[in-house]
A and B are shown apart, each in its own frame.
Chain A
Amino acid sequence: MAYSEKAKSFYENELKGIRQGGLFKEERYIKSQQAAKIRVEYPIGAPIKDVLNFCANNYLGLSSHPEVIAAAHKGLDERGYGLSSVRFICGTQDIHRELENKLSAFLGMEDTLLFPSCMEANAGLFDVMLDKDDAMIADRLVHASIVDGMRLCKAQLYNYKHSDMAHLEEKLQETQHCRLRLIITDGVFSMDGDIVKLDKICELAEKYDAMVMVDDSHATGFIGKHGRGTHEHCGVMDKVDVITTTLGKALGGAAGGCVSGKKEIVEMCRQRARPYLFSNTVPPVVVAAAIKVVDLISESTDRRDKLEENTKYFREKMINAGLDIKKGESPIVPVMLYNAKLAQDVARDLYEEGIYVVGFFFPVVPQGQARIRTQISADHEKEHLDNAITAFTKIGEKYKILSKKKDEIIAMYGM
C-alpha cells in the first residue's frame, strides 16, 4: 500500500477547498419510497421528518407506482436479478429488445439502444457519430454529461449562446467546411426549465445540412401532447436525427438511458459506443418495470395532463405570491434568489416548514444566478402545491424578497 501522507494530505486539502468554497455536498437519507411525501433524516442523526418533495425528477409520479413495482417483481422472478455480462456477450434478454422497440415506437424513432444511464449514452454517442473532420455545435447550457461526451470526441467543438438562433446560424456558417455537423442541445434545460426552440433549430439544420441531437431527459414522458418529448412539443417529430434520454427521471426513475434515432446511428452505437460495449447490461428488473412504464404512458396521458395542470397552477400562484420565477412552461420552476447564501438559507428554512428543496449556485449555475429549483410532479396533489406556496410565501416574507425585482434582491443580499 502506498497511500502516503503526501497523498492523504493532498486529498484532505482538496476537500478542505471544496468545503471552504461552500461546494461540499451532503447526502440526506430518505427512509421511504420516492414520492411527493417522503420521510427524511437530515442532518444525519436528526429526528426523521415528513416533508413534501419538490426536488425529485419524479415528474410523472411513477417511481413508486404500484403497477411499476409489480412489473419489477415479475421481472425479477421471471428473468432473474443480474446477467453478469455486457449486452453483446450474454447480456441481452428478449425483454431488452422489447423495451428498445417500445421506446422507438413511443419516441417516433427508427431504432433505440439501451445504455446503463443517459450519462453513458451521452458519453458514447458523439465519438461514434463524428471524427476530426466533423463539427459539434452545442448550446452553451447543455448538461454536463454532454460536455463530457464531447470531450471524448475528436470532432471540432463549437458552441452558441443559450437558445440564440442567430448565434447558432453564425456557427453553422463558420463550419461549412466540415464534413458532418451535429447540432447538440438539451430538450428542457435542467437549471432554467426552458424548452429548446427545436423547430427553429431543425429549420437551420435543414438550411445548412446539419444533423440534430436532443437530450430529452427532462422531457420524455411529459413534454408534448402525448409526452413524447420536445420534438413533439415543437412539431418536429420527423426532423430530429437522434435523441438521448433517461429512464431515471419521469420513466420510473430507477436507472438506464438510451440513444434513439436513425437506425444507422443506433447501429453504430451498438457496434462502437464504448460505454455500451464495456458496461454491464441494464438489470432485468429495471427493464421489466420500464416496459410497464412505457405501456402506461402510451395508453394514457392522464399523468402528463395532471403534471401540466399542476405546473400551471404552481407557476401562477408562485408569481401571484410575489416570488421571482423563471418564466416557462416546464415542471422545472426555478425560484430566483441570485445570492448563494440566500438560496441556501431559504432552502434550509423551507425544510423546517416541511418543504424539501435544494439551493443551486455557482458553478452549477452562472455567478449571481443562485436559485432554488423546484420540480413539480403528477404525484403532487393540490394540497401539496398549496403547502409549498404558503411556505415559500412565509419564508419570502421573512427575507423581504416578495414582489422584489432582481436588482432589489441583489441590492439587499449581493450576488
Chain B
Amino acid sequence: MSEEIKKLIIDYVKKEYLEEDSTMEVNENTKLISSGIVDSFSMVSLKMFIENKFAIKIPDDKATPEAFDSVNNIINVIKEFVKI
C-alpha cells in the first residue's frame, strides 16, 4: 500500500511542479521544499491533493514545510490521519 501511495505522490509532484522536459529524478527521499522544487506558496496544491485523495483535513500546524519536505515525510503525516 505504501508503495502505491509513494508512487501516487511522486507522480503528482513531477506533474505539478516539474517542467515537462525536466529530467530531474524524484524519489521518496528527495527534498521537496528545502531544495526549492516546491516553494512554500506552491505547497498548497500538494496539501490539497493529499487532503482530497485521502479525504482528510490536515491542520496548518501539521502542514509545515518540514512535514512536507519529502514524500516519506508526507506519508508520515498521512499516517497520522488514516490507516495506510
Q: Which residue numbers of A lie inside 8 Å of B, CB to CB?
A: 140, 147, 156-159, 161, 362-363, 366-368
Contacts and interface: CB of A to CB of B under 8 A. Distances in A.
A61 B17 CA distance: 39
Interface string B1-39: 000000000000000110100000000000000011001
Nearest to A160: B45
Interface of B: 16-17, 19, 35-36, 39, 41-42, 44-45, 48
B41 A147 contact: yes
A140 B41 CA distance: 7
Interface of B, secondary structure class, is loop
Contact of A140 (B35, B42, B48): B42
Contacts of A367: 35-36
Contacts, number: 24
A105 B41 CA distance: 35
B53 to A, nearest CB: 13
B36 A157 contact: no
Nearest to B18: A161
Contacts of B41: 140, 147, 159
23 contacts: A140-B39, A140-B41, A140-B42, A156-B48, A157-B44, A158-B44, A158-B45, A158-B48, A159-B41, A159-B42, A159-B44, A159-B45, A161-B16, A161-B17, A161-B19, A362-B36, A363-B36, A363-B39, A366-B36, A366-B39, A367-B35, A367-B36, A368-B36
Contacts of B42: 140, 159
Given A147-B41, A159-B41, A368-B36, 17 more contacts: A140-B39, A140-B41, A156-B48, A157-B44, A158-B48, A159-B42, A159-B44, A159-B45, A161-B17, A161-B19, A362-B36, A363-B36, A363-B39, A366-B36, A366-B39, A367-B35, A367-B36
